[in-house]
Chains A and B, each alone.
Chain A
């Protein structure tokens, strides 16, 4: 049971307002993707796929989303040239500034899109899972904006690490339910959100925060996030009058990377680099699913999974709560296997160093998730050389991580 429709091609809209070609897939990315959920949820997944296919073909839907992204969220975000970092690393580095968005990260691009879709479907309640809390905050924000009750599931360990975001969600009127099961992180929050969805399936929209989960989520979330790449594509052409040589983004579930990469997938000259969390090292505790995982089935789709020989899912580790997930979106699994995207990883310590480097060089304190992408810039800069153009996704700002970072640096000093 898969959905196929015509590609969305709104006639009059500017090219940055909708995903354009290739927006609705069959839900399969090579061997990956699909709909591996309880039978009870299948009608809801199919209803969502049909509703999204319908909305994606409606220029009025994209026009409203585009208008709200501009007037409420703060799009387009700048593409900032990074002069000092460029000098230090030996390439022309541009920063795609998702950190400047309302709520402080790229997550809200997807939240607003899904919330408008949920309203269009007549859903009256929104639930979400969150790891770092950025997706939870963005979901609570759009729920407040559209006057919908909202429940956010968060692992108890994450809620401890990100107490400030828990407070923000409550301030926005959301109910935060902490999850004490399993590793008490993102995967357990997802399990609990799925349990809520299966119980309250009729009126509830599950606002999933990454390019993971059953079809249509990986496609839909990618499309909502592709505004990052569509803007960047125009902006780099304006600034440099040519295509970039490389794009770099961090990958947990993989939504900001999918958003930046997807408009460039057909441009074979653009090298695409996804950066996973190597945690304490690839031979120790980490969250580098594409580097060290294996094909498996988790949270609704077939993709790469960190699990043991018995199929038990591992407890991932990263200093960054947003990357601390043992799965990854199925399209990334496909891009990995086809070689279109190269996936590398960076450790907690490398991310911490990169966070400080970016702060001092450019006056930008990025999120720990983002710092993993920044940490891969020296490698990529070395490949493209001094005249090479590199765009890195600054997926979020670092305010939420200051406590974690200050503790980690105290220990190190």
Chain B
């Protein structure tokens, strides 16, 4: 958890935004996933969200749905995600890892047991799409006991009371959903986003990362102007699919480097 927060703080101290990359565990294969994580880290990702494949990903668009289907076919699972985290750490890679997914696999595994096993595997935080703030207590409590962070989601529709609930969790960062929609939808630009994120940043002491629909260096750069972090998911997953198992780590590394350059470029005048 400290690892995650430290990275955001370090970027913030440089006056830069953190880059968070989403990938689906098991796509293109459980064995390749650790290599993709390391390639992303080497290319400048500040954190990696390791998406646990789920049979019914109701918050995801077609790109991540398809990746999850492929991953399940390849033996991807919550257990294999933990194995990937262990492999990443065994290889000496210290990139902060967020275990990302839907609640049922975690619930069936057991929240207490998962929190402990995730921590032991080198995971820094949990993020569950279908456990909103009002229900997050049942996951936050065992996570806190294990020393694991929980990342709350805040949406454009979330009122001030819900933002306050997110702040009360003292999270490593808050994930702000850029739009009302599913992952991979068309990026809607800043339409009120900057203002809303500024309000959320004011209300929570934690850094705020923005995700959903961010596909290019330009998108990332536009969001970085007002957010502590930028999350890119579907665009990464598309590149993994296009590159196939052999080429995926290199393709992800190249894309992450592009995003990093866009974020680090001096401000345009």
On chain A, the residues within 8 Å of B152 by CB distance are 39
| Known contacts A181-B65, A311-B54: A39-B162 contact under CB 8 Å | yes
Instruction: Indicate if B131 sits at the interface (CB-CB under 8 A).
Output: yes
Find B133's partner among A42, A194, A202, A298 (CB 8 Å cutoff). Answer: A42
- Could you mark each residue 14-57 of chain A with 1 if its beta carbon is under 8 Å from any beta carbon of chain B, else 0? 00000000000000000000111111111110000000000000
On chain B, the residues within 8 Å of A312 by CB distance are 54-55, 72, 77, 104-105
Please report the C-alpha to C-alpha distance between residue A312 and residue B106 in the assembled complex, in whole angstroms: 10
Please report the C-alpha to C-alpha distance between residue A195 and residue B63 in the assembled complex, in whole angstroms: 14
B59, B133, B156 — which one has the most chain A CB atoms within 10 A of its CB?
B59
Nearest A residue to B108 via CB reads A311
Please report the C-alpha to C-alpha distance between residue A187 and residue B133 in the assembled complex, in whole angstroms: 25
| Known contacts A37-B132, A297-B103: A309-B108 contact under CB 8 Å | yes
- Interface size of A by Cβ–Cβ distance < 8 Å? 41
On chain B, the residues within 8 Å of A199 by CB distance are 180-182, 185
Instruction: Indicate if B130 sits at the interface (CB-CB under 8 A).
Output: yes
Find B56's partner among A1, A34, A294, A298 (CB 8 Å cutoff). Answer: A298
| Known contacts A297-B130, A307-B104, A313-B56: A39-B182 contact under CB 8 Å | no
Instruction: Indicate if A310 sits at the interface (CB-CB under 8 A).
Output: yes
Instruction: Indicate if A115 sits at the interface (CB-CB under 8 A).
Output: no
Find A38's partner among B59, B72, B79, B159 (CB 8 Å cutoff). Answer: B59
B212 to chain A, nearest CB (A): 9
On chain A, the residues within 8 Å of B58 by CB distance are 38, 190-191, 194-195, 299
- Could you mark each residue 376-396 of chain A with 1 if its beta carbon is under 8 Å from any beta carbon of chain B, else 0? 000000000000000000000
Nearest B residue to A314 via CB reads B55
- Could you mark each residue 195-209 of chain A with 1 if its beta carbon is under 8 Å from any beta carbon of chain B, else 0? 100111110000000
Find B55's partner among A38, A40, A300, A313 (CB 8 Å cutoff). Answer: A313
- Could you mark each residue 304-336 of chain A with 1 if its beta carbon is under 8 Å from any beta carbon of chain B, else 0? 010101111100000000000000000000000
Question: B-side interface residues toward A, CB under 8 Å?
Answer: 54-59, 61, 65, 69, 72, 77-79, 103-109, 129-135, 152-159, 162, 177, 180-182, 185
Other A-B pairs beyond A39-B155, A188-B56, A200-B180, 20, CB < 8 Å: A36-B135, A37-B130, A38-B59, A39-B154, A39-B157, A40-B157, A40-B177, A42-B133, A42-B134, A42-B155, A194-B58, A194-B59, A195-B182, A199-B182, A298-B56, A299-B56, A310-B77, A311-B107, A311-B109, A313-B55
Question: A-side interface residues toward B, CB under 8 Å?
Answer: 1-2, 34-44, 181-182, 187-188, 190-191, 194-195, 198-202, 294-300, 302, 305, 307, 309-313
Question: Nearest 7 CB-CB pairs, A to B?
Answer: A311-B105, A311-B108, A1-B134, A40-B155, A39-B153, A191-B58, A194-B58
